[in-house]
Amino acid sequence: MIFMIYKGENITRTHMCGELNAHDADKEASLMGWVQRRRDLGGVIFIDLRDRSGITQIVFDRKIDEEAFKLADKLRNEFVIAVRGKVKKRPLENVNQKLSTGEIELLVNKLIILNKSNTPPFSIEDDINVDESIRLKYRYIDLRRTHMQKNLIIRSKATKAIRDFLYDRGFLEIETPMLTRSTPEGARDYLVPSRLNPGEFYALPQSPQLFKQLLMVAGMEKYFQIARCFRDEDLRADRQPEFTQVDIEMSFVDVDEVISLNEEMIAYLFNNILDINVAIPFPRITYKKALEKYGTDKPDLRYGLELVNISDLVSKSDFKVFSSTIKKGGLIKGINAKGCASFSRREIDSLVELSKNFGAKGLAWISIEPDSSIKSPIQKFLTEEELYNIIGRMGGKPGDLLLFVADTAKITNFVLNQLRSELANKLNLVDDNKYNFVWVVEFPLLEFDEDQNRYVAIHHPFTSPMEEDIPLMDTEPLKVRAKAYDLVLNGVELGGGSIRIYYEELQKKMFNVLGISEEEAKEKFGFLLEAFKYGTPPHGGLAYGLDRIVMFLTGSENIRDVIAFPKTQHAACLLTKAPSKVDPKQLEELFIDIRDTKK
RNA sequence: GGCCCAGUAGUUCAGUUGGUUAGAACGCCGGCCUGUCACGCCGGAGGUCGAGGGUUCGAGUCCCUUCUGGGUCGCCA
């Protein structure tokens, strides 16, 4: 096959393949792109030519141009070509309604094959059903699909909208190092050995946290960055080892200023991309309330099914499962599954099974039949009064199914949260067109880690406690609330942040509570404590998971669909085959020996 | 690290109680065809059944181990 050298040929692209329409009829036009499909009728050859913008049908006819027609016989899927010809309005009966360019076609009088192509391993169509590992191996082909192109276009538009908004509000986009130091606390770091400093390592940033605080010390006042972050933890449908944060930090602000700026930004973004009006301000719920009503700090507010605490009603019950749970300091809470008394035994059993899978010992249920009679395996353990009170508290009406978990607060909340979301799906209560934002505020500052036998920061060690709770740090650390806030959308955490500690004494106190010794604090964070001595403004900010935001904007179920070159669950890139072994010489330069990798 | 799902032609799948030469559709290759747009018609090629081991006269099918991809719990300040 003869391939033309493009240079020296005289086709210049005049239009994109999605552009031409009836108004361009009889014009001379030149297109470039990929062969989407070929329909060879013998005397005439139709090609669907595709570029990023769309598809145009081009026609090769012996009577129009013999040479182009002969060459067109060689065309196959995904060949890259340049064509020139005349735009022809199609007769009415030949109009293709499915194409934006369906009213016209291009009668080709000049064809240049710019490149041939192997037959692709799967076809470039939107509704494909191909194993994802094949898509990832040939990601450059997968990304030719309109669906994937649309996702990346939306991602690009979203970052532009965010930049536009923040530039407009006086923010500076500042880059921070990718090679930085490993810090204790938080996720596992990705480490990078240093050739010039044998035996020492950089860490890739988990987030630009410390640098953005130092930029506040530096007087930058308003900073943002679209920052790549790295965490060496296990992957999920919405988690990748490298991901992108929209990182924001401001000086001289408190919680309300950060929240209101971000509400405006999110409203601007969703309006800009999805053309929907997002009502601001967003509702706020305290962490405590969120756990009470939903059992989670990221509640989905699109539906009800709220959790109800009945602990006080059954603390003295003869039903030991309930009363002993209370004695041990646990919780008994329930959900009223409205209208679900009609569930079959099998359906109820599957809810019980689900609860057990998530750690509950069981799931108690009370079914209020349409005739107001009660069906329940625990009825015989409860007094009439207890039953009456429980049903009353739960708002139980004929036809309702009441579900209860009795366990530690942690398990009770966790299981009922899972149950709530399962029920919502089962009952079709989840509306994909709703965007229910909520700020979760007043997170606890600390939690106790049983494994390490010490307090750890829930957010991070630089989060400021609420002023009125500072005295509690010495007496009841678990009761200290933080100036921390998360933005939650439909049960997904989009981002979170806090007002930071900005003076040395408080930061030292925080390290102290965390059991980080003065020497260790000095060794790991000495530079920050030092910086705090030089006039640090009060400051705070927030960071979003950009990938998750884009998942919402594109309606993606999977984070890999909004990342051009994502990694598999084993953190591998099937395209480049990273990670890989390296040349022993490289290891030698880095003073690294590989031990036996079999455990 | 635990639990669950999947792996058969380039792709998506079927494959009976373990039994002849492992099938289909799409794609691919060749031929015919001047109005197709999922073009049509005729013909053809294409398989280490993820890998290794075991049971058996005989394994795509049963058992064990392992690899890969996915979901999830732990983990992710």
Nucleic strand B near CB of residue A577 (< 7 Å): no
Per residue, the 3-state secondary structure of A24-93, as one string, reads: HCCCEEEEEEEEEEEEECCCEEEEEEEECCEEEEEEEECCCCHHHHHHHCCCCCCCEEEEEEEEEECCHH
Helix (H) or strand (E) run with residue A440 in it: strand A437-441
Strand B contacts in A 158-197 (CB under 7 A): 185-188
Q: Which nucleotides of B are covered by protein (CB under 7 A)?
A: 1, 10-13, 26-29, 32-40, 68-77
Task: Considering only CA atoms, name the residue closest to the C1' of nucleotide B34.
Answer: A43
Beta bridge partners of A97: none
pLDDT of residue A5: 59
Task: State the distance between the two ends of chain A, measured CA to CA, in whole angstroms.
Answer: 54
Q: What is the CA radius of gyration of chain A?
A: 31
Alpha-carbon distance of A52 to A38, in angstroms, equals: 18
Nucleic strand B near CB of residue A90 (< 7 Å): yes
Strand order in the sheet with A307-309: A307-309, A331-337, A401-407, A364-368, A374-375
β-pairing, A374-375 vs A364-368, is: antiparallel
- Show the tokens assigned to A111: 């064809």
Is the ipTM higher than 0.90? The answer is yes
pLDDT of residue A273: 97
- Across chain A, which has 599 residues, the per-10-residue mean pLDDT values are 57 95 96 96 96 96 94 96 96 94 96 94 88 95 96 98 98 97 89 96 96 97 98 96 98 97 98 96 97 95 95 91 91 94 88 88 93 92 93 96 94 94 90 94 92 89 96 94 97 96 93 90 90 96 97 96 96 94 94 76
CA of A464 to C1' of B37 (A): 64
Q: Which stretches does DSSP call E strand in A116-219?
A: 172-173, 191-193, 201-203
pLDDT of residue A472: 96
**Neighbour count for residue A12 (Cβ, 10 Å):** 9
Question: Which residues, 6 or more positions from A351, have their beta carbon under 8 angstroms from its beta carbon?
Answer: A343, A363, A365, A403, A419, A422, A423
Nucleotide nearest to A88 (CA to C1'): B35
pLDDT of residue A1: 42
Alpha-carbon distance of A590 to A199, in angstroms, equals: 7
pLDDT of residue A599: 43
- Contact between A390 and A313 (Cβ < 8 Å): yes
Helix (H) or strand (E) run with residue A257 in it: helix A255-274
Nucleotide nearest to A74 (CA to C1'): B29
β-pairing, A104-115 vs A54-61, is: parallel
Question: Which residues, 6 or more positions from A471, have their beta carbon under 8 angstroms from its beta carbon?
Answer: none
CA of A52 to C1' of B38 (A): 22
Question: Which residues, 6 or more positions from A585, have their beta carbon under 8 angstroms from its beta carbon?
Answer: none
Strand B contacts in A 450-469 (CB under 7 A): 456-461
By residue count, chain A amounts to 599
